[in-house]
A = this chain, B = another copy of it.
Amino acid sequence: MRSYEVKNRTYVDDIKSLRLITAVKTPYLPDGRFDLEAYDALVNMQINGGAEGIIVGGTTGEGQLMSWDEHIMLIGHTINCFGTNIKVIGNTGSNSTREAIHATEQGFAVGMHAALHINPYYGKTSMEGLIAHFESVLSMGPTIVYNVPSRTSQDIPPHVIHSIAENPNLAGVKECLGNERIKQYTDNNRIVVWSGNDDECHDSRWSYGATGVISVTSNLVPRLMRQLMVDGKNDSLNSKLRPLMEWLFTEPNPIGINTAFAQLGVSRPVFRLPYVPLPLHKRVEFVELVNEIGRENFVGKKDVQVLDDDDFILIGRY
């Protein structure tokens, strides 16, 4: 089902060179539908802040809470509005091979530049099954494989990556297992790696050969994260950002980023369940963190606020 239109062609090398990719948050209207105006503003903030790519519908963007038609629509929308200014990487992975095939085919058809693929979480499979799963989708276009055992309960070991790397569409790996694993890939420049852990990414980039980061924190402070990835080793900036990173991951992501965005006034305080906001004392902490790092470094222009519990809307049917 491939298109040969020139506009639809993205080179794998264009993906391999990206240093700052943001796993962008999806904002909602009070009835649970996407808030596309807020979303467009967020993507613009990323472009202005120096991000070179975004992940649409990643775990941060709550792809796991989207129906597939919502998900593909959001990828198509992002390409249509911003595709000439930023690389759009659709998270079309799934623990079901059928779903991964269908979504990836549709994502490339609407113009996404690359796909992000996870291994089959929850259901899991054997190493042979893992390779068969990835091979079902790799031929469709540039692909980043995502390894995050703390979510999937199953590590993608290097031998699997090396096996699928024979396909030239493999752009690289988003790796969350740490810098020693990253080093295994980057020694001799064999495999492009992005750190999937904001608190490690500075070292991954400057000491372990990572190309860059796929970041949650850059949703909030894109310019600073870009500085961290592009302008050279900077332990002082890294240290300055560490408390914010720790705050963001107090609870499973995207709980922190969702709470932060509502407090910054860049998205409505609407949560799709099972996510709920961080408690009051953590919301107070966030205001202090913003003040320490400097409001001007964060996205948005409103004053940062400590919202009350009643300010939040939690929805299960949408």
How near does chain B come to A115, taking the closest CB pair, in angstroms? Answer: 15
Q: State the CA gap A276–B125 with chains docked (Å).
A: 8
Cβ of A128 < 8 Å from any Cβ of B? yes
Inter-chain contact B98/A65, CB cutoff 8 Å? yes
Inter-chain contact A124/B109, CB cutoff 8 Å? no
Could you list 18 examples of A-B contacts with CB < 8 Å? Answer: A1-B29, A5-B40, A65-B98, A65-B123, A68-B69, A76-B77, A76-B109, A95-B122, A98-B317, A122-B122, A124-B252, A125-B252, A126-B251, A129-B255, A129-B275, A132-B274, A133-B273, A152-B153
Chain B neighbourhood of A128, CB < 8 A: 276, 279
- Chain A 76-93 interface 0/1 with B at a Cβ cutoff of 8 Å (1 = within): 110111110000000000
Q: State the CA gap A154–B102 with chains docked (Å).
A: 29
Interface residues of A in 91-126 (CB under 8 A from B): 95-98, 101-102, 106, 109-111, 120-126
Chain B neighbourhood of A36, CB < 8 A: 1-3, 109
Q: How many copies does the complex hold?
A: 4
Inter-chain contact B73/A109, CB cutoff 8 Å? yes
How near does chain B come to A253, taking the closest CB pair, in angstroms? Answer: 9
Cβ of A35 < 8 Å from any Cβ of B? yes
A7-B81, A80-B80 known; 14 new pairs, CB 8 Å cut-off, are A3-B77, A4-B37, A31-B317, A36-B109, A72-B73, A76-B76, A80-B110, A98-B272, A123-B151, A123-B274, A125-B252, A128-B276, A129-B274, A136-B273
Cβ of A162 < 8 Å from any Cβ of B? no
Cβ of A206 < 8 Å from any Cβ of B? no
Chain B neighbourhood of A314, CB < 8 A: 132
Q: State the CA gap A130–B129 with chains docked (Å).
A: 31
Interface residues of A in 123-157 (CB under 8 A from B): 123-126, 128-130, 132-133, 136, 149-154
How near does chain B come to A216, taking the closest CB pair, in angstroms? Answer: 14
Cβ of A62 < 8 Å from any Cβ of B? yes
- Considering the complex of A and B, which 4 residue pairs feature the smallest CB-CB distances, nearest first? A76-B76, A97-B273, A80-B111, A76-B110
Q: State the CA gap A40–B2 with chains docked (Å).
A: 10
Q: Which residue of B lies closest to A6 (CB)?
A: B81
Inter-chain contact B317/A126, CB cutoff 8 Å? no
